[in-house]
Amino acid sequence: MRNSDRDELDDLIDGALPGYSDASPIEGLEERVLCRIQSAGPPRRLAWPLRIAFAVPALAVLVLAVAVPRSWWNPCRQL
C-alpha cells in the first residue's frame, strides 16, 4: 500500500496501536493461572469401559491374524 492510498481507518489504527503496546498484564494474573493449574491435579485416566472398548477390537484382530490360515490372506494366491 502506498502512502497516498491511506484513508481514515488507517489513521485510526495507527493512532490506537501505541496504546496497546504499552499495556501491562493484569496484576496477579500469572499467579492465578498457576494456582488454577496446580489445583486441577493430574490428568484423569481413561475409564475402564473405554479401555475395554479399545482392547476388544485389538484382541479380535490378533485372534484373526493367528487363526486365519496364511494362504487365505496371501495377496498373491490364485483364486
Decide: 33 and 39 in contact? Cβ < 8 Å.
no
Decide: 14 and 20 in contact? Cβ < 8 Å.
no
Summarised one tens digit per residue, pLDDT across range 60-76 is 999 988 887 766 666 67
Which grid coordinates belong to 60?
479380535
User: How many CA atoms are closer than 13 Å to the CA of 20, on its beta-carbon side?
Assistant: 5
Quote the mean pLDDT of the chain.
81
In the DSSP assignment, the letter for residue 1 is: -
Sign of the alpha-carbon dihedral angle for 10, 12, 16, 18 = positive
Which pTM value belongs to this model? 0.35
pLDDT tier at 48, thresholds 50, 70, 90: confident
